[in-house]
Structure 1
Amino acid sequence: MRHDLTDFDRVVLPELELPWPSTLHPEVQGMHRALTDWSERHTLLRDEAERDRYAGYRFAWLAGRCFPRADPAFAQWAADFMLWFFLFDDVTADRVESAERATTMVRRLTAMLDVLDLDELGERPVHGETAWDDLCRRLRALVPAEENYQRWATAMRLWFLSLTTQVFDQVRTHRVSPRSYASYRRYSAGLKPPLALADVANAGSLTPEEFHAPEARLLEMYATHVIGWSNDVLSAPAEVHEPATRSLVTVIKDAEPGRSWQEAVNLAVDQTHAEIAKFAELAEQVRRSASPQLAGWIDGCQDDDRHGQLVPARHRPLRPHRRRPSRAIGRSRTMAIPRSLPPGPAPGPEDLWRLEQQPALLEDFRASYGDLFTLHRPDQPRGCSSAPPTTSAASCSATTRNSTAWAPPCTTT
């Protein structure tokens, strides 16, 4: 449904803080290069428009933060999987508003389910199916036991099937209650698959008793809420303009239309912070008697909790900023991302070159993005004037981001 955005421009977005640190896998640069080669082999990005769009999403860095201690082969698999996952979600489940799009979605979903269930490709593979088959076969060889693979496969089946619930809700339901939204969001957000592998990526496999224990299931639920809802909050400035897209913010607003957008955002943030507190309290209790493997799985859940703060890079342009407790969203439909959170899309060569010409903006950029970027002076890109620019780095990004090459534009640490 289309929302009345009368007071949305005046919304101030509070910070979302997590009580544990974020780390990065040391092999992330090589992961990015290998991911590029892998995507080209499977023709995942089919044209220049898709390559431009996905150039800045930095899936190797997303995987490197979700699985910072994983074996290099597993971390590479995770980077490849995340590119495939987000592309499949965007192409298959977003904006299914016609019978033709629904038919395409069903064909793609059933093709991927058949790869999982039958362990074979269809006669005429759909886009992404060969890459999906490769991911399934590689993961089966990487994990220590079939049990680990099946935990992940079951989580993927739940995600595939939850997409149909999400689409039906979008096209047939005028409003949905916050409780109902939270129910299917636990699955449609696609967070259970990586959490099912958080033990393998850290201290080793959980026993079936540990994995299925009520405390572990509660921790997983809290983690999915933290990731999914923080994603909803940080993506709100883009998603409120999309009538077919629901988020925790819009669902809270719809439940009481008289409530302001600021109240809806504040309630969503409070709800997310409450889940963070529940996870932290229960994790501390479980750690007291946990095996090394269970403690490692909890560490992995905490790493994945950064997932919801990284994903909104898909919804925001590059924008240097200073650390502030909050900032009005404003008419640009751009949000202020706190310094404590990982940044968004990687800047292109033109962005970096222009920043080098403006020392004040460069220092601001270093202050905001220095934890992930080591800036260097790139060669002047073709088409860039040698005269000092008059536009801001934010506007440069808005105009040049679509020309960013798929190869990494800067050195990342």
Structure 2
Amino acid sequence: MPLTGWRLPALHYPFPPEIHPEAAAGEAHLLDWARREGLITDEREFAAFARARFGELVAREFPGATREGLELACEIYAWQFVFDDRYCDRPGADWDTAHLGLAALRVLTAVEESLAAGHAAAPGHTADPCARALVGICRRLATMGSRVQLERFLAAERMYLLGALAQSATVTTGRTPPVDEYITMRYYMCGTPVALAVLDAAYGFELPEEEYRDPDVQRLCRITAHVTGWANDVLSYGREATGPDEVALNLPTVLASARALTAQEALEASARMHNEEIAAYLRLEARVSARADHRLRCYLSGLRSMMRGFYDWGLATDRYRVGTHFSGAIRPLEVRP
């Protein structure tokens, strides 16, 4: 039985669940890489990381990736979750926006110096594990894809770090942002734009720049990020609302403040916004698909997997414990690799 009286609202996904055939290998690679890079050194943190099954999330969101692409995505996701937990969601008592800004500058400086050296600089030239690991990710991506794909990834990563600073500043002031401000901030903080920047590389091809930058394609990417970010906010609401060390800044909280809603009403309003974005995605995707070549169709299929994959993982992961906090929670459909 849930510990609260909240009921999980319905989130609609008219896409079938999928999972990469090498999901178990991806999970093992993610955990080994995070430990080897020094991102996780505490055994309790490692155990919590393992229980969350982030590798399964990657396998669900990238079901058609190459083996190397799956490993790259696992490394990126491990990095994002470690950085997010350490510096954004669960910062120490003496942590503030200035410290976060310096951490962001350290990782970006390490990457820029490595790029300036033509990747001749070894990832170990910095003592910061997050900086060193991100340099290693960039080096790997540079060998797999083109310079254009690497620059897409770095642009998305910079915007993620800017979003992290905006969130930190918002939490520090104690101000609940207006809905439109929160939506803008959440778009960059959810991490999905980073994933979408490497989606084609992970699948073993390069989406031409004119197609990647097409306004309709970018709109589909933005909707995908809204869907995953808002689904995250609904599914993690119980943890954030009850956890003593959590940063409780999410869409239901923002809607409750802006519209004087109860928690359940705010959860339902968040679900309606989510489902409206799914409907908007389907309408626009139909128009784009009518003129898409095989590469763009593959990319669009990846967007669908990104949305559905996050939902199925979010329902089951120990990170959110949806069944503990909500009644009406369903089990994700089982898919076998």
TM over 0.5: yes
- Mapped pair 1:253 → 2:253: no
Percent identical pairs in the alignment equals: 26
Equivalent of residue 273 in structure 1, options 272, 275, 281: 275
Aligned amino acid, residue 337 of structure 1:
A
Contact 1:202 1:293 in 2 (8 A): no
| CA distance in 1 between partners of 2:292 and 2:50 (Å) | 41
Task: Note the aligned Cα RMSD (angstroms).
Answer: 2.3
Give 1:152 deviation, angstroms. 1.0
Moved over 6 A (4+): none
- The correspondence of residues 14-413 of structure 1 with structure 2, limited to 5 A, is 14-96=9-91, 100-119=95-114, 124-143=126-145, 145-202=146-203, 204-241=205-242, 244-257=247-260, 259-309=261-311, 310-311=313-314, 313=317, 315-317=319-321, 333-334=325-326, 336-339=328-331, 341=332, 371=334, 413=337
Q: CA deviation at 1:131?
A: 2.0
Give me the whole-angstrom Cα distance separating, in 2, the residues matched to 1:297 and 1:115. 30
Structure having the higher Rg: 1
- Over 3 Å counting, the alpha-carbon distance change for 1:64 and 1:244 in structure 2 is closer
Kindly state the Cα deviation for residue 84 of structure 1 after the two structures are TM-superposed.
1.8
Q: Which amino acid aligns with 2:250?
A: S
Query: CA, structure 1 residues 244+72, in 2 after alignment: closer, same or farther (shift >3 Å)?
Result: closer
Runs of 5+ consecutive residues of structure 2 not aligned to the other structure? 115-120
Cα deviation for residue 112 of structure 1 reads 1.0
Distance in 2, Cα, partners of 1:188 & 1:99: 22
Residue 262 of structure 1: how far off its partner (Å): 2.0
TM-score under structure 1 normalisation? 0.73
Q: Per the alignment, in what secondary structure is the counterpart of residue 25 of structure 1?
A: coil
Contact 1:159 1:188 in 2 (8 A): yes
**Would you say the 8 A contact 2:20–2:62 is kept in 1?**
yes
Amino acid at match of 1:338: I
Provide Cα deviations, 1:156-193, integer angstroms capped at 9, x if missing partner.
01101110001001111422111110011111111101
In structure 2, distance between residues paired with 1:124 and 1:196:
25
Residues 238, 333 of structure 1: 8 Å contact kept: yes
Q: Which amino acid aligns with 2:297?
A: A
Task: Give the C-alpha shift of residue 97 in structure 1.
Answer: 7.1
Please give the alpha-carbon distance, in whole angstroms, between the structure 2 residues aligned to 1:139 and 1:101: 32
Q: Aligned residues, how many? A: 324
* Contact 1:237-1:335 at 8 Å conserved across structures: no
- Could you tell me how far apart the structure 2 residues matched to 1:278 and 1:151 are? 25
Residues 292 and 87 of structure 1: CA distance in aligned 2, closer, same or farther (over 3 Å): same
CA shift in 2, pair 1:192/1:126, >3 Å: same
Residues 122 and 198 (structure 1), Cα distance of their counterparts in 2 relative to 1, 3 Å cut = closer
Q: Which residue of 2 aligns with 1:357?
A: none
CA contact (8 A) 1:316 1:335 kept: no
Extract unaligned runs of 5+ from structure 1: 1-7, 320-331, 343-370, 373-411
Q: Work out whether residues 66 and 303 of structure 1, in 8 Å CA contact, stay in contact via their aligned partners in 2.
A: yes
Q: CA deviation at 1:260?
A: 2.2
Do the aligned partners of residues 334 and 266 (structure 1) sit closer, same or farther apart at CA in structure 2, a change above 3 Å counting?
A: closer
Query: Does the CA-based 8 Å contact 1:215-1:286 persist in structure 2?
Result: yes
1:317 Cα offset (Å): 3.5
* Equivalent residue letter for 1:292: H
